[in-house]
Structure 1
Amino acid sequence: MEYTILGIVLMIIMLLYFKVADHFNIIDKPNQRSSHTEITLRGGGIIFWFAALLYFAQNIEGSFFFFTGITLVSLVSFWDDIQSLSNKIRISIHFLSITLIFFDLNLFTFVPIWTVLVSYVLAIGLINAYNFMDGINGITGLYTLVVMGSLLYVNTKIQLFTDGVFIIYAMIASLVFLFFNYRKKAKCFAGDVGSIAIAFWIIYLVLKLILKTETLIWLLFLAVYGVDAVCTILHRLYLKQNIFEAHRLHLYQVLSNEYKMQHRVVSALYAVVQTGISFLVIFLYQKVQDSLVFLIVISPLLLLYSSKFYLLNKSNLRLNHEA
């Protein structure tokens, strides 16, 4: 009953936000590097912050540091959705917010300083990777459901590391968001406020699980996004492009824009592949060495990603022929 009420409340909040966004003209205008063609309301992902607010309103003993952190990243991201901010401001707030959850998890006490530094790079990188990957209808909501579902399974069946309700609130928020976003013509986009807020939530949970189990393999719950984001950055650096500017070189963008696959199909493919990987990681946990698990998972993903270059070459040849 609690989750039904939560879903209804979040649905009402989303509908109210649409009125606010429409009144203040908070919209996403397509450009030549977008994967959509129509003006759409932006910032629907604010529902993730409201889900966190509702959880902590009922669980005051919960992590003050986490809620402060997700509030800071949501605020600066929402501001960026309305009026572009400099990278220095955004990264500074991300750094501060990550510091808060590191304090919450006692990272500064229990791990060496070099591990803390690596964790900063990894956490901020994952936040931005999650944001980079939010480009087509349904991809953020579906992928979040898969990641959160995987974490919930581990928390329930393998290792208790957090309050399960905390994970379920994020999943219900994802379902509400998908109701409006996973359509041929989306009612709204997540915006930076959505992709970055839920990425922050996921990073907090993954870090808690890593510290509890003393293994890094749970990072593979983000393997599909990670490989696509990192390889695309390397590709753009090779092309001497500014990696902070918008582009259309992610694999999902090539499939959607160059090969005209439906956004919902591409999003579902990403979610299905990550689901398979998550099942594999859970199955191999404590059966195979961690390094081997990474090799088993990452190698085929790299091969899959490399197909992008064949698709791009084929697309260029087709366009040159038509010209």
Structure 2
Amino acid sequence: MTRLHVVSGKGGTGKTTVAAALALALAAEGKRTLLVEVEGRQGIAQLFETEALPYEERKIAVAPGGGEVYALAIDAERALLDYLQMFYKLGSAGRALKKLGAIDFATTIAPGLRDVLLTGKACEAVRRKDRSGSFVYDHVVMDAPPTGRVTRFLNVNDEVAGLARIGPIHNQAQAVMRVLKSPETAVHLVTLLEEMPVQETVDGIAELRAANLPVGGVVVNMVRPGILDEAAVEAAANGRRTAVAGALAHALERTGSGSAVEPPVGPLLEQAREHTERLALEQQGRAEIAKLDLPAYELELLGDGVDLAGLYRMARELRKQGFL
């Protein structure tokens, strides 16, 4: 069973929103999920309408069926202090280094070190057990860096294990990669039905597969509903103005808009043409996604923006489509 869900996507596709909705979906029916943020943007706190998250695991939502969602904004400096204490028993020395600015210096000049600490903390949460031997969290969802950086981000511990041949650093790096490359992990990519996000998704999945990282599914976000029926779309695509005008007039009449005033058919026809062009591009995007041979899920565009109620709605839709 997949326990670590890594969610990535091109900027602007709504990956943080999807990660939050997925955490709610996975926490349903009494499960406990940890939602992890690694980029320091406090996007999770904004979505759940709560104060900025500290470096601690804090309950932020209750899912249907009594499940709980906890959240953690991982801070690289604090994660390094945890690492020093866990493997070298240098808790007090680590705090002294922090006061001197050495911790901040180390994590700033070595971005690879930051990624090691961030992935390591997330994997520690996946492996953590309570006194009875049960996992503390049924699922961990990571709001990961964008598609163009996610493969290197996840694969950084492979490089570290190669550099440090022996010792606790080598062992820790290998332990993290055992989690990230196991069936317990799945990397999901979020996209839109637009040319650039779809192409970046295709390229990102190719990179993940080349690095032997487990790919999960593709979430197509912000899908806009169709306005015209198939006959009207075909007529607009073929330039049959009379048929399209009739379909638009009928639609307006059904809503009561066409009885009082003459509908502005010209502008509506232009919108119908643009709509058909968009539908054609979306179908091309779906065809490219289908070639990936991966599970694909679609979430509709929420016209009023995403609030807490919208997150629960998205979570229900993910469960309905079998994203578990």
Task: Give your verdict on TM over 0.5.
Answer: no
Structure with a larger share of its residues in strand: 2
Q: TM-score, normalised by structure 1?
A: 0.24
Q: TM-score, normalised by structure 2?
A: 0.24
Structure with a larger share of its residues in helix: 1
Over alpha carbons, which structure has the higher Rg? 2
